[in-house]
Structure formats: C-alpha cells, structure tokens
Amino acid sequence: MDERKQAIYTPAGGPPAGARPSLEILIEIGEPGIFSLLEAFYVRLAESRIQHFFPTGESEMVAASQKSAAFFVQLLGGRPLFSQHFGPPQMRRRHFPFEIDAAARQEWLDCFAETLKDAMAAGTFPAAHEPSFSAFLESFSSWMVNVAPD
Ligand code: HEM
C-alpha cells in the first residue's frame, strides 16, 4: 500500500474514541444536505494550501467530495453508502498516499470550519449540532496525520 520511502508516523494513543456527531444532523438536512456540504468543502480545499493533494479538475473534485459525503452519511447513522461503494472505510490507511502533517491537518480543519460557518449562515447546517460535528472532525483528523512532528 505505502509507496513512501519514509516510515509512516502513527499518532500516540491510537484511533480516537470520541463521540460521533449527532445523528440529528442527517435527519435535519438529509443526504442531499450532506452532499452539498462536502461539495462546498471541496471547493474550499481546491483553493487551500493543501490543494496539491487533491485532483485538479472541477468534476474530479465533485467526485472526490461525493466519496467523502458517502462516508459522512454513514458516520451519521444513515445508509452505509461508503462501505457499499468503496469497501471498508479504513480511513487512516486510505490517507497513507498523502503526507499529512500537523499543518496540513490544520488547514483541512480550517477549510471545514469556514464551510460550516457559511452553511450555518445560509441555514443549511443546524447550528445546534456544530459543536459535536466539529469535535468529531478535530478528534478524528488527528488520526489521519502520518508525518511526525518536527
Ligand atoms: C475527520 C477527518 C477526515 C475524514 C473523515 C476524511 C475522509 C475522507 C474520505 C472518506 C476520503 C475518500 C477516501 C478514498 O479515496 O477512498 C478522503 C480522501 C482524502 N482525504 Fe480525507 N478525511 C479526513 C481528514 C483528512 C485530512 C486531515 C487531510 C489532509 C490534510 C485529508 C486529505 C484527503 C485527501 C488528499 C484525499 C484524497 C482525495 C481524492 O483524490 O479523492 N483528509 N478523506
């Protein structure tokens, strides 16, 4: 799987065991709401400091966002869209091809925070559930880091 020369760093403590975000998010905004949210997130990623990790074409980015949306629908207690289409989530392993350090993770989190801010302002994400959703992102994203700190 790993084609990198350097050893892959594993964050101490193993996978985070934090709470999942509230299932009510999916009930409130539905699968289309999750897909729109992730599409907006990928638009931000395409303009971010970590854009080099991602595909360049607009339709490729939409396709990539749909893959992530499938994961979030599943995470939120909806249909197991990710597993059905792409197999076992194994998220950390799926991120091995990208050298994700603490700064890359922070940029990813900042893009998501801005996306959620816009969505709440537009009334397309329930503000009451932003804390649990962001807490999940904060915790789970630490497990995607695979480059050791300096
Ligand atoms: C809460 C944490 C995260 C979740 C839930 C998540 C979710 C996902 C999912 C579901 C995929 C598709 C996997 C596949 O290709 O089979 C993906 C791909 C990807 N993720 Fe993440 N991710 C997280 C954190 C991060 C972070 C911190 C970064 C980088 C800074 C990152 C960068 C990428 C990249 C570059 C791809 C491949 C995009 C593509 O070409 O399709 N992810 N992520």
DSSP string for residues in 18-50: PPPPPTHHHHHHHHHHHHHHHHHHHHHHHTSTT
Alpha carbons 127 and 110: distance in angstroms, whole number: 17
Give the model's pLDDT for residue 16. Answer: 84
Mutation choice for ligand 1 from 45, 86, 95, 111, CB with most ligand atoms inside 8 A: 95
Report the distance separating Cα 36 and Cα 102, nearest Å: 27
Q: In the CATH scheme, what is the code of domain 24-142?
A: 1.10.490.10
Mutation test of ligand 1: which of 41, 91, 142 has the most ligand atoms closer than 8 Å to its C-beta? 91
Residue 18 has pLDDT above 90, yes or no: no
Residue 2 has a pLDDT of 47
pLDDT over threshold 90, residue 7: no
> By the 8 A CB rule, do 99 and 52 touch?
no
14 has pLDDT over 50: yes
Residue 98 token pair? 């990208």
Q: What is the mean pLDDT of residues 88-97?
A: 96
pLDDT mean over 87-113: 97
Instruction: Report d(CA 108, CA 135) in Å as an integer.
Output: 14
Average pLDDT over residues 25-50: 98
Question: What does the buried/exposed string (b/e) look like for 91-111 if buried means 16 or more CB atoms within 10 Å of the residue's CB?
Answer: ebebbbeeebeeebbebbeeb
Q: How far apart are the first and last CA of the chain?
A: 25
> Above pLDDT 90, what percent of the chain?
86
Q: Both tokens of residue 141?
A: 């994203």
Nearest atom in ligand 1 to 68's CA: 10
What pLDDT, on a 0 to 100 scale, did the predictor assign at position 126?
98
Q: pLDDT band at residue 1, thresholds of 50, 70 and 90?
A: very low
| Top-confidence residue, 81 or 4 | 81
Residue 44 Cβ inside 6 Å of ligand 1? The answer reads: no
Cβ-Cβ contacts under 8 Å for 106 (sequence gap 6 or more): none
pLDDT of the residue at 108: 98
> Is the CB of residue 50 below 6 angstroms from any atom belonging to ligand 1?
yes
For the chain, give every domain's residue range. 24-142
Residue 67 near ligand 1, beta carbon < 6 Å: yes
Band the pLDDT of 140: cuts 50, 70, 90.
very high
Q: How many Cβ atoms are within 10 Å of 46's Cβ, its own excluded?
A: 19
pLDDT band at 61 (very low <50, low <70, confident <90, very high): very high
For ligand 1, whether the C-beta of 96 sits within 6 Å is no
